[in-house]
A and B are shown apart, each in its own frame.
Chain A
Amino acid sequence: MAEQTPVQIFRRQERQKQYRSGTFFLKLAVLLLFILVPFLFPSFKSLDLALKIMIFAVLVASFDILLGYTGILSFGHVMFFGIGAYSVALLIGKYGNPTYINLVIGFIVALGITSALALIVSFLSLRVKAIFFAMVTLAIAEFAIILATKLSGFTGGEDGIIMSMPGIFKVSFNMGKFLGVEITGRLITYYFILVVCLGLFLLMIRFINSPLGRVMQAIRDNEPRAEAIGYKTFIVKSISICFGCLVSTILGGLYAMWVGYANPESVLGIPIMLDVLLMEIVGGMGTLYGGLAGAAFLEFAHSFLPDLQNFAKSLFPGAHFLHAAMERWLLIFGILFIMVVFFFPKGIIGSVQDFMARRKTAPSI
């Protein structure tokens, strides 16, 4: 047998410890936590928080494919999330009955519209580069918000569209108890979304670990060089944009299924895009898992920082300055954000990966 090269030895070792490494068990533990949330923390608030972390983690990961892996900054990413949400809402909330078929059609229509629109956005990337491309996508996203707001006859305007879910996803659906927890339509929807999110996340991992994923990273690093070695960078960037946008669209549909409505503020708004950007920065660009850390950080902050006011009042009833400070929880959030960026410039996951790489004797690639 021919002598193995260091690369082959490294790959063999990597395969051997693939399912025995600490990171593998950590990932498994996180998945288990999401599965057990309804049993460990049986309140709607916890379930809602877990689901939003889940959806935004995958949404940020899909945004990471564009920004972190291909180097494309698009402010229009959440618009595709909105397209998914509105398609589902229109099909089962406004122009059709809440049936499984309509739900599926809603997703199919959304994916069709997204494919066409993502291709147009891709073509724009040919004409305008970098920050100008970002500005154009911001303008398109803003245009989508205006359309959704002004075409009130079609989209429900600022109020949006309220819908009820079909069959087992209906809020009133109840299958009885299991391990002391009511198996309701909400819980079934939660697990359905968990399975789809997991599938999408695994798909994205495969995508970035494919030969194409490496080409995307090469383009991010040095586009003219990638072109000089024979890649049609426009095609690779288009695939990346379309893939990321399609994932975002599916997530939008799932989000609408969970909240039961779609309006411009909740599924199209620029503040959501900014949240996604913050999650990306906090979690770490080009890590995919950073989305989970970023989404958890922001969603926890959004959920629990407003409660700090009551907490401070009960703990220190006479400390009026503290109460006043806690009322302005967004200020605390801002300080927290600055601290994370300051101490973890590569984001939480990026910094942890750096730390692990320094500890390892054989660096991973």
Chain B
Amino acid sequence: MGLICAGSVKRYLGLCKMNAKNTEPIIETKDLTIRFGGHVAVDHVNFQMQLFTLKSIIGPNGAGKTTFFNMLTGQYKPTEGQVFLKGQDITNLSPADRTRLGMGRSFQLTNIFPMLSVLENVRVAIQSREGFGLNFWKSYLHFSDAEDEAYELLQEVLLDEKWSATSAELTHGEKRKLEIAILLALKPEILFLDEPTAGMGQEEVPAILEILQRIKEARDRTLLLVEHKMDMIMSLSDTIMVLQEGRIIADGEPDEIYRSEAVQEAYLGGGTTRE
């Protein structure tokens, strides 16, 4: 089914604006596994996430966090197991179809459209959400609402002054902000953020933290975060899942994780001090 459109995907999954209850997991995996040759990168992970919460995934390098992320968002196909969105199996859907269903993701490495202007980067995402991305008979200037909304989003991530710059010219921190603006433009129900502060200088981190805090406080989106900065994770997250060698070793509220001996042993190296 190559030409699956947004509407038909939603009908296919019966997800048109369904009112999910907070108690039902919005996203769930069952025995999710991926093998690369003989190496098991993610091993039978059973994961659940509630609506409008912020969950973080932590773990040492090579624990399988990004691989797990990639399976949730469709970049990798699992060797075994299933991914469910609001109870519906989405394991075989493409990344584009999952995006249309309300899953938006940012990448560990900065992932923008470098030759487009900052405003265009966001506008292209709005086009996708609004479904006029394939319109070729009208000028893009005809869609001034999209442009206004793109500018508002840039204001939200404190990037409005750079709206006309070519995005390749932005600093690393600004590019990460732009990525978040692109993501917000999709109005996703679930935001998947893969190390949003990776490679940033210390002075740039608070701005991202503030943006994430604001998104969380609005309580109208679900956030899944992979991050290494422990203080950031402890302060932001509602729940934390810890992966080691592709397996879940702990899953709970920040204080539980903080006190967990297994986590301290495996991830924090036995110490209890926060970074």
Asked whether A214 lies within 8 Å of B140 as measured between CB atoms, the reply is yes
Q: Is B132 an interface residue (CB 8 A)?
A: yes
How many residue pairs link A and B with beta carbons under 8 A? The number is: 133
In the docked arrangement, what's the CA distance between A228 and B166, Å? Answer: 21
Q: Which residues of B contact A222 (CB under 8 A)?
A: 111-114
Identity of the chain B residue whose Cβ is nearest the Cβ of A212 in the assembled complex: B136
Asked whether A213 lies within 8 Å of B140 as measured between CB atoms, the reply is yes
In the docked arrangement, what's the CA distance between A5 and B161, Å? Answer: 11
A225 partner, pick from B2, B112, B143, B160, beta carbons under 8 A: B112
Q: Give 14 A-B contacts (CB < 8 Å), ordered by A residue.
A: A5-B151, A8-B144, A8-B148, A210-B136, A210-B137, A211-B133, A214-B120, A227-B94, A228-B75, A232-B96, A363-B166, A365-B117, A365-B119, A365-B120
In the docked arrangement, what's the CA distance between A362 and B138, Å? Answer: 25
User: Which bucket holds chain A's interface residue count?
Assistant: 35 or more
Q: Which residues of B contact A232 (CB under 8 A)?
A: 2-3, 96
* Chain B positions 180 through 201: 1 when the CB is less than 8 Å from some CB of chain A, otherwise 0: 0010001000000000000000
- Tell me whether A217 and B140 are in contact in the complex, defined as CB-CB below 8 angstroms, given that A230-B129, A365-B119 are known contacts: no
Asked whether A210 lies within 8 Å of B73 as measured between CB atoms, the reply is no
Q: Is A236 an interface residue (CB 8 A)?
A: yes
Asked whether B123 lies within 8 Å of A206 as measured between CB atoms, the reply is no
Asked whether A230 lies within 8 Å of B99 as measured between CB atoms, the reply is yes
Asked whether B73 lies within 8 Å of A228 as measured between CB atoms, the reply is yes
Identity of the chain A residue whose Cβ is nearest the Cβ of B3 in the assembled complex: A235
Q: Is B218 an interface residue (CB 8 A)?
A: no
- Tell me whether A213 and B136 are in contact in the complex, defined as CB-CB below 8 angstroms, given that A6-B163, A225-B113, A229-B124 are known contacts: yes
Taking the nearest CB of chain A, how far is it from the CB of B144, in angstroms?
Answer: 7
B96 partner, pick from A221, A231, A365, beta carbons under 8 A: A231
Inter-chain pairs besides A7-B119, A212-B136, A214-B124, 11 sampled, C-beta below 8 Å: A10-B164, A11-B144, A211-B133, A213-B140, A214-B127, A215-B128, A230-B125, A230-B129, A230-B133, A233-B96, A286-B115
Q: Is A234 an interface residue (CB 8 A)?
A: yes
For chain B, the count of residues having a C-beta within 8 Å of the partner chain is: 52
Taking the nearest CB of chain B, how far is it from the CB of A127, in angstroms?
Answer: 13
Interface SS, A side: helix
In the docked arrangement, what's the CA distance between A363 and B167, Å? Answer: 13
Taking the nearest CB of chain A, how far is it from the CB of B37, in angstroms?
Answer: 23
Q: Is A218 an interface residue (CB 8 A)?
A: yes
B125 partner, pick from A6, A11, A207, A229, beta carbons under 8 A: A229
Identity of the chain B residue whose Cβ is nearest the Cβ of A7 in the assembled complex: B151
In the docked arrangement, what's the CA distance between A364 and B124, Å? Answer: 17
Q: Is A47 an interface residue (CB 8 A)?
A: no
In the docked arrangement, what's the CA distance between A331 and B246, Å? Answer: 62
Q: Is A209 an interface residue (CB 8 A)?
A: yes
Asked whether A210 lies within 8 Å of B139 as measured between CB atoms, the reply is yes
Q: Is A323 an interface residue (CB 8 A)?
A: no
Taking the nearest CB of chain B, how far is it from the CB of A29, in angstroms?
Answer: 24
Q: Which residues of B contact A5 (CB under 8 A)?
A: 148, 151
In the docked arrangement, what's the CA distance between A213 and B117, Å? Answer: 14
- Tell me whether A230 and B128 are in contact in the complex, defined as CB-CB below 8 angstroms, given that A10-B164, A11-B141, A209-B140 are known contacts: yes
